[in-house]
Amino acid sequence: MKPKSDNVLTFPKPLTQQEHRLGRGSKINHPGVILASTFKYFTLVLACVVVLLPLLVIFMASFKTEQEFYNTPVLSLPSNFLNLQNFSDAFTGGLMLQGFANTTIILVFSCTGTILIGTMTAYVLSRFNFRLNKVVSGLFLLAALIPGVSTQVATFQIVSGLGLFNKISSNIILNLGTDVISVYIFLQFLNGIPRELDEAALIDGASFLDVYWRIILPLLMPAIATVLIIKGVGIYNDFYTPFLYMPGKGLGTISTSLFRFIGPYNAHWEVICAGVVITIIPTLVIFLFLQKYIYNGLTQGSVK
Amino acid sequence: MANNSFSSSSFTYKRQKIIIGILFLIVPLILLLVFTYLPAINMVLYSFTKWDGFGTVDKYVGIQNYIDIFTKPEYFSVFGVSLFYFVGSIVQIALALYFATIVSFNVRFKNLFKGILFFPSLINGVAIAFTFLYFFQPEGGLDTVVKALGGSNTPLWLGERSLINISLTGVSIWRYMGFNFVMFVGAIQSIPSEIYEASELDGAGRWQQFLYIILPGIRLILTLNLILSIKGALSVFEIPYIMTGGMNGSSTFVIQTVNTAFKLNKVGLASAMAVILLVLIVIVTIIQNVVLNDKEDVQKL
């Protein structure tokens, strides 16, 4: 046995193949190892508490009556978990229902559009040897440099000049027009698929449209899933675009209708809390079901 | 004859190819030009004017807006706020690296920890802002915790000028740490396990493994995250805008730009600010591309 190191991250025993890939079996009896292990779990649990506590406080407050809210400590359980009054207030009075409807419309059109536009662009850029392809690729690459957050001052003038201000289409078209990441994900994926597949179909007499629709699109499915996750999460959480372009009363999205709670419900934090819970629940459900895809998709999107 | 049909089909294919090529590219290109390039070009033009955003672009003033931004402290002081977020993201990356490392060695409930730590980065920004607006309230969640731990005088987390940016940066760390963490976990997992096994045979401890295997193995992804955090620190908007409206010295560059453009209607000045932000971000991105020229390693993730 090697001498014990005083570093908490140092484990003295060598690892066998049967044990966990990078890990170690359960026969840990060294005091240093126990200390290190305790510290490890302590910090992990602490981090989880830090993450969960603010959410837990909100969650509990959302079930409290107004009376209860002001007279009980923040960390106390609500007296009745079936008190859904705040939720119905948030849904109807706070127009969250409308927010969900608008966000859904934006999501459906933006995602469909992004996938069509992105795959079509990637198909032409990857498979057709046009002389202008390099220029077009360059334009998309260069556009990735321009952060949307900085150009809104001027984008606003264009959107209002086109008469799209205060229309739901403004958000959809901006989601489509400023999306470069999707094109790149598709392009990269497509460059990894051998050309022989679609060339064979062309030789068999298929048209380019057939090849795109029957071969390229189905092959791109994993990339489409990635793009859907990146775009879906991005659009659901987008505050900036609807805030700037859709201030109209009936045009709230999830983000902006929740944001508008701050005025009328300023004194009603229990309703605001319910609004927050309503906003988070769809995200939580999606996350629980698509965990693996979400990890891969989102981290991929940020690397590109 | 075979020759004939081949040439005629290749002719139609050529034409078909051109038609499809144009049809497929025309919409994306128009959208890209109108909503990405045109605004960027217009913005530069606006930045040389004192235009108010109404009617035709007028009141050409040369580089006066830029001079104003760089000489009046009220404008460039907001970059000081970016520093809070930048330091915050260094802390965030350090925490993420620590948790990614310990989770990559043997840990029970690994997926549970991973899920909990990652989840905040998926949550809607407005929901996060409200959650912490409530959490930071006097007698709110944070005060309760501080008192439970024996603290007595709880400050106004969002009320004191010396504290407000630290509180807001804390929210930012809460929100994004898990994202870095998951990226690092992925990077660490892509290091071939034989390397660890070989190092263990050589008697390397965990600390040595971290220093000589993990750290070099994820060097690129670590650099990328550091660079992205500079961009992030420059473009902070949502959380402080919703939580404080930029009051009490918590205004960021983007908040100031948005207010200048849309509240004060000084589109010219706001454009100059946006151009500066654009230039800064482009510089950072160029550095990023130079540093990460070795793209192979990044793409493995």
Smallest Cβ–Cβ distance between A149 and the set B27, B235, B242 belongs to: B235
Task: Inspect the interface and report whether the beta carbons of A147 and B278 lie closer than 8 Å.
Answer: yes
Q: How far apart are CA A120 and CA B28, in angstroms?
A: 9
As beta bridge partners, residue B60 has B49
In 3D space, the residue among B180, B6, B299, B241 whose CA is nearest the CA of residue A256 turns out to be B241
Task: Inspect the interface and report whether the beta carbons of B205 and A145 lie closer than 8 Å.
Answer: no
Q: Which residues of B are less than 8 Å from A57 in CB distance?
A: 131, 134-135, 140-141
Evaluate whether ipTM surpasses 0.95. no
Q: How far apart are CA A13 and CA A279, in angstroms?
A: 48
Task: Inspect the interface and report whether the beta carbons of B301 and A300 lie closer than 8 Å.
Answer: yes
In 3D space, the residue among B230, B236, B239 whose CA is nearest the CA of residue B280 turns out to be B230
Q: By the 8 A CB rule, do A12 and A5 touch?
A: yes
Smallest Cβ–Cβ distance between A279 and the set B106, B124, B179 belongs to: B124
Q: Provide the token pair at B247.
A: 């009051």
Q: How far is B267 from chain A (nearest CA, A)?
A: 7
Query: What residue in A sits closest to B292 (Cα-Cα)?
Result: A303
Q: How far is B137 from chain A (nearest CA, A)?
A: 10
Selected residue with higher pLDDT from B53 and A161: A161
Which whole number is the average pLDDT over B144-152?
85
Which whole number is the average pLDDT over B177-206?
88
User: What was the pLDDT predicted at A74?
Assistant: 82
A151 — alpha (psi -120 to 50), left (phi > 0) or beta? alpha
Q: Which residues of B are less than 8 Å from A73 in CB distance?
A: 144
Map tokens 């990635």 to a residue: A226
Q: Provide the token pair at A186.
A: 């598709």
One digit per residue, the tens of pLDDT, for chain A of length 304 reads: 344 334 444 444 444 444 444 444 444 567 777 888 889 999 999 999 999 999 999 999 999 988 888 888 888 888 888 888 999 988 888 788 999 999 999 999 999 999 999 999 999 999 888 888 889 888 888 888 787 888 888 999 999 999 999 999 999 999 998 788 899 899 989 988 888 888 888 888 888 898 999 999 999 999 999 999 999 999 999 999 999 999 998 899 999 999 998 876 677 889 999 999 999 999 999 999 998 888 888 777 665 5
How many CB atoms lie under 10 A from the CB of residue A232? 17
Q: Give the burial class of B208: count Cβ atoms within 10 A of its Cβ; 0-12 exposed, 13-18 middle, 19 or more buried.
A: middle
Q: Which residues of B are less than 8 Å from A303 in CB distance?
A: 183, 221, 224, 298-299, 301
| C-alpha atoms less than 13 angstroms from C-alpha of B72 in its C-beta half-sphere | 10
Summarised one tens digit per residue, pLDDT across range B162-186 is 899 999 999 999 999 999 999 999 8
CA B131 to chain centre: 21
Q: Give the burial class of A116: count Cβ atoms within 10 A of its Cβ; 0-12 exposed, 13-18 middle, 19 or more buried.
A: middle
Q: How far apart are CA B210 and CA B202, in angstroms?
A: 15
Q: How far apart are CA A16 and CA A25, in angstroms?
A: 9
**What is the tally of helices (H) and strands (E) in chain B?**
17, 0
Q: How far apart are CA B20 and CA B6, in angstroms?
A: 20
Q: How far apart are CA A148 and CA A145, in angstroms?
A: 9
Question: Which of B32, B231, B275 is the best mutation test for A, with the most CBs of A within 10 A?
Answer: B32
Q: How far apart are CA B125 and CA A73, in angstroms?
A: 26
Smallest Cβ–Cβ distance between A74 and the set B113, B141, B210 belongs to: B141
As beta bridge partners, residue B49 has B60
